[in-house]
Amino acid sequence: MTSARNTPQTEKAHRDQRKNNAGGYSFVVDKWCRLERFLILGAEGGTYYVNQRKLVRDNFTSLQECLDEDGVKTVEKIVEISHGGRAPKNDAAIFALAVAAGHDSVKTKHAALEAMPKVCRIGTHLFDFLSCAQEFRGWGRGLRRAVAEWYLNKDAHKLGLQVAKYRQRNGWTHRDVLRKCGGEVYGDTHQAILRWVVSGIDGMGERTVKRGDSVKVYPALDPESLPRIILGYEKAKAASSAREAAQIVRDFRLTHEMVPSEFLKSKDVWDALLESMPIGALVRNLGRLTANGNLEAFSEGQKLAVAKLTDPVAIKKSRLHPLGVLKALKQYAMGQGGKGKLTWKPQAKVSTALEDAFYLAFDAIEPTGKNIVAALDVSGSMGGLNNAGFEGWCAGMEGISPMCAAAAMAMVTVRSEPNHEIQAFSHTLVPVDITERDRLATVVQKMGRIPMGGTDCSLPMKWAMQGKIPVDAFYVYTDSETWAGRNGHPHQVLEQYRQKMGRDAKLVVVGMTATDVSIANPNDPGMLDVVGFDTSAPAVMADFTRQGYGR
């Protein structure tokens, strides 16, 4: 049992605590929890108290410690989070896998290279991985073989899609990669695809290549043996009008990356693209589609877009991440692109469907029926902007502060749990009038109007104790940089609440930044630390709340 002393939060109340970045004391999460936070939330953008460079360095140290202790387990965790679509960006997983691929342990290197296709699922992922990997290792036999297999183990259609859609990134092209790995290619179809990558459609004839004193003759290959997606790409390049390009898009199911830029201003072309457009691409291009007139009221385009955005099966299959949807929702509501060049008038039905997609992107949640207090940290450190003008975005998503992200996640609880109370806190506690009928934009506006201050994460428990409120679980969305409370640490106040109310109330701490601190006592089975914007977090929280009552 933890101490019930009212220790000021600027003093240590437990031997496992250390000073956090705000000057208070919090519990230190272990390296495996830190690794998971990094893989899901990343370190891009830093936090209010910790700049990006330090955050990257601290997380890199934790990653190295995990690799040194158990490299295979680390790689398995990287694959689990990346392949499961639990993170809004794949960048941290790719970086971590590249570090693992350069580790001193042969077993760890082998595991990382074996896992590479599971983490690097598309061409841009491969290019990013190679850019990172070169910082930690050379082009040895293992890396060359792994890269060659990335190409060889795909069927012809999937490989054709990758090389036609994702042609270059970070200074890499598929031609560069193939020349670097030097792998032998087997099978007539793959021979044609990779010949096209290296030499283009005009290089399909017989070729004689001299390497030193040796001469190798490559036979002519039939361009018609190329996958249809590549043939369509070549036809689109030769199209003479937008109408012709639109028909080619329909006939060959091309993506917008395969269409010549001069045709991407055409409504007809975008109508054709929308018909087979994946949900992820749809979310990223809603502004452009609206500006082009493809999503006007009562149009077939709008009906199709809304149907796609509200299809739960398709959303789960697409690995659409809720934080990416939240960013798109905020951007769409603004009516202009990030650089301000493209403008549009948001369509209400599209905005509503996009918000529905946000909730559908989380794992299915069964209501617990318990009494839950969702407490949102609105202190200065969660606002995303400090006095020096530093902007800290959640998971590097520009425009999404940790406070905004916390408000959005709390809405998942509001919409799934019938018995809930919403509170906001910094140095004081403020009730927030939020209902399941509120739209996300309204919630974010309400949160933005609450004054920020210092952080006291014990306030939700103090409020419930003083009011004798019967609470089964407190969900606290915070960066854990608590320091302003003078009458007890959060874990102490929770224990006081339990004793006074005779309830085994639980505490779930939802970490919104990739720091190494938490207000949850790891030695208390009634406290749980989860990563904010992990797609599985709400379901895990509900399961923890529902089960295991009685300590």
- pLDDT the model gives residue 547: 75
Give the model's pLDDT for residue 308.
Answer: 97
Q: Is residue 390 pLDDT above 50, yes or no?
A: no
Say whether pLDDT at 241 is over 90: yes
CA distance 299 to 274: 12
- What are the CB-based long-range contacts (under 8 Å, 24+) for 192-196? 192/221, 192/222, 192/223, 192/225, 192/226, 193/156, 193/159, 193/160, 193/163, 193/226, 193/227, 193/230, 194/151, 195/221, 196/163, 196/223, 196/226, 196/230
Highest average pLDDT, of 81-90, 224-233, 488-497, comes from: 224-233
Q: Kindly list the distances between the CA atom of residue 537 and the CA atoms of 87, 226, 461, 533, in Å, as whole numbers in the listed order.
A: 11, 44, 22, 7
Please check the confidence at residue 3 and state whether its pLDDT lies above 60.
no
Among 490, 442, 434, 500, which residue's Cα sits nearest to residue 470? Answer: 500
Q: CA dist 522 to 100, 181, 427, 509, Å?
A: 28, 46, 25, 11
Residues in the chain: 551
Query: CA–CA separation, 118 vs 150, rounded Å?
Result: 10
pLDDT at 316 over 80: yes
- Whether the per-residue pLDDT at 20 is higher than 60: the answer is yes
* 326-377 tens-digit pLDDT: 889 989 998 988 766 899 999 999 999 999 999 998 887 889 999 999 998 8
Summarised one tens digit per residue, pLDDT across range 199-217 is 899 888 888 877 778 888 8
The DSSP H or E segment spanning 38 is helix 31-41
Q: What's the pLDDT band for 392 if we cut at 50, 70, 90?
A: low
Per-domain residue ranges of the chain: 17-30+365-546, 32-210+217-225, 227-276, 279-320+322-360
Give the model confidence (pLDDT) of 266-280 as tens digits: 999 999 999 999 999
pLDDT attached to residue 8: 64
The band of 23, judged by pLDDT with boundaries at 50, 70 and 90, is: low
pLDDT at residue 251 in the model: 97
Instruction: With both helix axes pointing from N to C terminus, report the angle between 91-101 and 123-133 in degrees, rounded to the nearest 10.
Output: 50
* Confidence check: pLDDT of 528 > 70: yes
Q: What is the pLDDT of residue 47?
A: 47
Strands lying side by side in the sheet with 17-19: 17-19, 25-28, 517-518
**Residues 425-468 pLDDT 10s:** 888 888 888 888 888 888 878 887 887 777 788 899 999 999 99
Q: What is the pLDDT of residue 482?
A: 58
Cα dihedral 157/160/164/166 (nearest 10): 90
Is the per-residue pLDDT at 410 higher than 60? yes
The yes/no answer on whether domain 17-30+365-546 falls in CATH 3.40.50.410 is: yes
Residue 159's identity, in one-letter code, is: L
Phi, psi of 531 (to 5 degrees): -95, 125
- Residue 182 token pair: 């030097």
Nearest C-alpha neighbor of 489 from the set 526, 516, 456, 511: 456
Q: At what angle do helices 91-101 and 52-83 cross, to 10 degrees?
A: 90
Neighbours of 66 (CB within 10 A): 24
Report pLDDT for 402.
Answer: 79
- With beta carbons less than 8 A apart as the criterion, state whether 427 and 483 touch: no
Listed as own residue / partner, the contacts of 540-543 with beta carbons closer than 8 Å and 24 or more positions apart are 541/413, 541/473, 541/475, 541/508, 541/510, 542/365, 542/366, 542/367, 542/368, 542/416, 542/417
pTM across the whole model? 0.81
* Confidence band for 551, pLDDT divided at 50, 70 and 90: very low
If you average pLDDT over residues 171-197, what whole number do you get? 81
The most distant pair of C-alpha atoms in the chain lies apart, rounded to whole Å, by 88
| 265: three-class secondary structure by DSSP | coil
